[in-house]
Structure 1
Amino acid sequence: MDVCPRMWRGPRRTWKGCICVTFACLCLAILYLVCTETAIMLRSQYQSPRRSWQGRASTVSVEKLIRGIQTLPELNSSASSTSISHHRNMSGAPVTLVREIAKPSGARGSWVTGLTGFFHRLLVVLSGDHRRGESLDFPRGKSPWRVWNENSSSAMLNKRLQKVFKTYRSRNKYSMPPQKERPRLSHKRSAQELLCQLKNQVKVQTLGTEQPPFNTQEWATFLPSLHLSQELGSLKNCAVVSSAGSIRNSHLGREIGGCVIWSDSHDAVLRFNAAPTSKYQNDVGKKTTVRLINSQVMASNKHRFLENALFGEGILVAWDPAPYSSDLLEWYKKPDYPIFTQYKEYRQRHPSQPFHIMHPAVQWQLWEVIQENSDEEIQRNPPSSGLLGSLLMMSVCEQVHIYEFLPSRRQTDTCHYFEKVQDTACTLGAYHPQLFEKNLVKRINQGSDLDIFQLGRVTVPGFQSLNCSGVSY
């Protein structure tokens, strides 16, 4: 007896034939989808001798690719930005990302969401829409998806942001001396050269009682007696978790770690400003080892810095924009926000919690490296908390994973995962030279473009792991 009755065997059996034909077409469509998406990922990883959209050397092992595919987060349309920055201009993320590629088998989420996403991608394939990856026959050396372009420039900004960018670039709030005309570099620095330049030129340090005006008995009772590296101890794998809106619905919490039922994937986790973990553990994890906060948050009535229990976990590190000269006495007399008043008050209320203040020279040393490796003049303002926090962890850890500083496929204009405020400035920067910071981070990334696209994860070595002997920059 035939499994699929022929269409001409009578009207009563016609509907059975339609079901069989429809089922067969659906099976073929599913097979096509699976083969297409698998081919895209494998081809991009193993046939491409370069690792970025423009091209950079990269190799990915089969085991790493399989682990990546197994842990891919659920697809959605959210995306990237970073923590609160000064003057209400948040910092943020990417250029254009191509639409999602494939739904991983291991992704979490409701079956309704998964089923809806599957049929959406199925329609994309059947309709011949190649926005997923331009085409299957992409040129050798190019990925089938777009990630952050390390050559991004201010020309890509819209008119509003270009105006803001030029305004901040022309201002000189922090008393920078006239910048000498910079000779163009004879060659674009490699990742190793950039890492060694950061290691040697940016001295990550916090305030101590060695220098005036902090060499007094009063400040000796407030400033920690131990250096930050001594308090943290020996750290291997560390995570820097941005406050970007794109991390929401990422399901990265298990990888970041910190929940009771989850293993700790990282020895230490750094978070920014008022970014919470409560209610968001599935996306951002729970552990907080270090919290980097800017002086604007400390002074804000909204965040209730002195009373909010959010700030009571982990080691606090505060920073405040200071004059370019990094003169401590000048800064102490006129900080950007009342960081010293708030610091003393907090220490009196919480004397047992470690609390450090970042030395202002760090931000301008880092700014110099960003400017030197940029093809145009950048904003004359300090780098973002996101990059400062990344450098801080690189100074104490063997390896650092930075999440959603470079945007994943979940790109969005939502500034923070815990708020609904939207602004494109959170994505491309305004007050901070965020655009150029991301170029730098993309260049030093040791991971793959697949990690960035799917997970928003950048992998960089810690300074103690670097061998810079014989490296010139």
Structure 2
Amino acid sequence: MNIFSRLTPRNIALLLSFMTIFLLYTPNPINNTTDSFDDSIFEASCSCKTCIMGFMDDDWFVYRYDPTTPALLNRKNSAMRRDTYKWWRGLQPSTFRVNYSEVVDQLFSLFPDKEHYSDAGPDRCRTCAVVGNSANLLGSHYGSLIDFHDVVIRINKGPTKGYEKDVGSKTTHRILYPESAVDLDNSTHLVLFPFKIRDMQWLISTFTTRHITRTYTRVKSSINADENKVMILHPAFIKYVYEKWLLKHGRYPSTGFITILFALHICDQVNVFGFGASSTGTWHHYFDKTRTHYKGGPHGGDFENKTMHQLQQRNKISIYKGYR
């Protein structure tokens, strides 16, 4: 006997419905062939000759790079997951109690509260130079090359005056925190890297009451800067760099390494200058003799260095070391 003759009309309707749903939601095996992949993931995502997001078939890069992680803080994205907030607060003294939401409200009553760099697309080619403070810049004659970039990001106190031939004169973004603060001109964006909530409070104070003169050491109570060009790195971005890129090496990432990853998120091409040792193997700043070393401090410097060179080998950044 035909099986359908034993089914009631209701059962037949249910069976047909199930078969329809199955056919609609079961992938076609042909679509799983390599020829049917969305070719857009292999197309250049900008108008530069090479793009950071172009040819996203690099598993190593795709695993680490998360374009959904917010690079910059605003009121809309300020809420943090519990684990992120706990990790970030763990970088600062546990005895220091502050209402984070109130601090955010204060921040964005003073500074721009908007999305930044959300204009990525096939017509954009934003070139960025990340300029560190290594002595390998001395005698490099990179100045004009650095200034040719659309965005020139300098870190902490690295000066340009007197060093223009080697480091350039253009600064569009200055990365700083209270302990590394310097005066800026009105053409430069102040980008605060908040390793602690006190850093956010200090930023508010510098433009208002100027009452914060100390964190764990003495800091400038005010600086010259354009309040309309202030940006705050999202604390979640620091954790993202630490976990996804450094795989939890060290206690937290260095300012320089975070800056490179920040550039990877806002730029289409990234060139890196002033990182590493000089040609003689010494580690110090180009503007003073302060000794530095990538293996020192709370950072996983050796792993950061290896990751930077992985990015170079995979054509995601270019590193200019100042000597042949």
Structure 1 residue ranges, 4+ long, deviating more than 6 angstroms after superposition: none
Cα distance, 1:438 vs. partner? 1.0
Superposed CA offset, 1:293-330 (max 9, x none):
134224xxxxxx4xx3x4654111111224xxxxxxxx
Counterpart position of 2:255: 385
- Is residue 274–residue 321 contact of structure 2 (8 Å, CA) maintained in 1? no
Counterpart position of 2:116: 228
Distance in structure 2 (CA, Å) of the matches to 1:360 and 1:394: 17
- Is residue 408–residue 452 contact of structure 1 (8 Å, CA) maintained in 2? no
Counterpart position of 1:364: 239
- 1:25-174 alignment runs, 5 A limit: none
Structure-2 change in CA distance of 1:342 and 1:418 (3 Å): same
Distance in structure 1 (CA, Å) of the matches to 2:231 and 2:125: 19
Cα distance, 1:221 vs. partner? 1.8
- Is residue 292–residue 316 contact of structure 1 (8 Å, CA) maintained in 2? yes
Q: How many residues align?
A: 228
- SS at 2:58's partner residue? helix
- SS at 2:61's partner residue? helix
Pairing 1:422–2:291 present: yes
Moved more, 207-216 or 400-409: 207-216
Cα distance, 1:452 vs. partner? 5.3
Distance in structure 1 (CA, Å) of the matches to 2:74 and 2:272: 28
Listed as ranges, the gaps of 5+ residues in structure 1 are 1-189, 258-263, 299-304, 323-334, 458-473
Structure-2 change in CA distance of 1:245 and 1:435 (3 Å): same
Q: Which of 207, 227, 230 is the aligned partner of 2:73?
A: 207
Distance in structure 2 (CA, Å) of the matches to 1:283 and 1:232: 31
Cα distance, 1:274 vs. partner? 1.1
Cα distance, 1:250 vs. partner? 1.4
- SS at 1:240's partner residue? strand
Moved more, 205-214 or 428-437: 205-214
- SS at 1:292's partner residue? strand
Paired AA for residue 307 in structure 2 = L
Counterpart position of 1:292: 175
- SS at 2:176's partner residue? strand
Distance in structure 2 (CA, Å) of the matches to 1:453 and 1:216: 38
- Is residue 128–residue 150 contact of structure 2 (8 Å, CA) maintained in 1? yes
Paired AA for residue 69 in structure 2 = K
Counterpart position of 1:400: 270
- SS at 2:205's partner residue? helix
Structure-2 change in CA distance of 1:388 and 1:273 (3 Å): same
TM-score by length of 2: 0.61
Superposed CA offset, 1:208-267 (max 9, x none):
12346058764432231232315999542211011112212211112112xxxxxx2x11
Q: Higher relative contact order at CA 8 Å, sep ≥6: structure 1 or structure 2?
A: 1
Distance in structure 1 (CA, Å) of the matches to 2:169 and 2:119: 20
Superposed CA offset, 1:128-151 (max 9, x none):
xxxxxxxxxxxxxxxxxxxxxxxx
TM-score by length of 1: 0.43
Counterpart position of 1:164: none
Listed as ranges, the gaps of 5+ residues in structure 2 are 1-55, 80-99, 209-223
The two structures, once aligned, show a CA RMSD in angstroms of 3.3
- 1:248-267 alignment runs, 5 A limit: 248-257=138-147, 264=148, 266-267=149-150
Distance in structure 1 (CA, Å) of the matches to 2:144 and 2:129: 12
Q: Which of 128, 137, 151 is the aligned partner of 1:247?
A: 137
Structure-2 change in CA distance of 1:231 and 1:408 (3 Å): farther
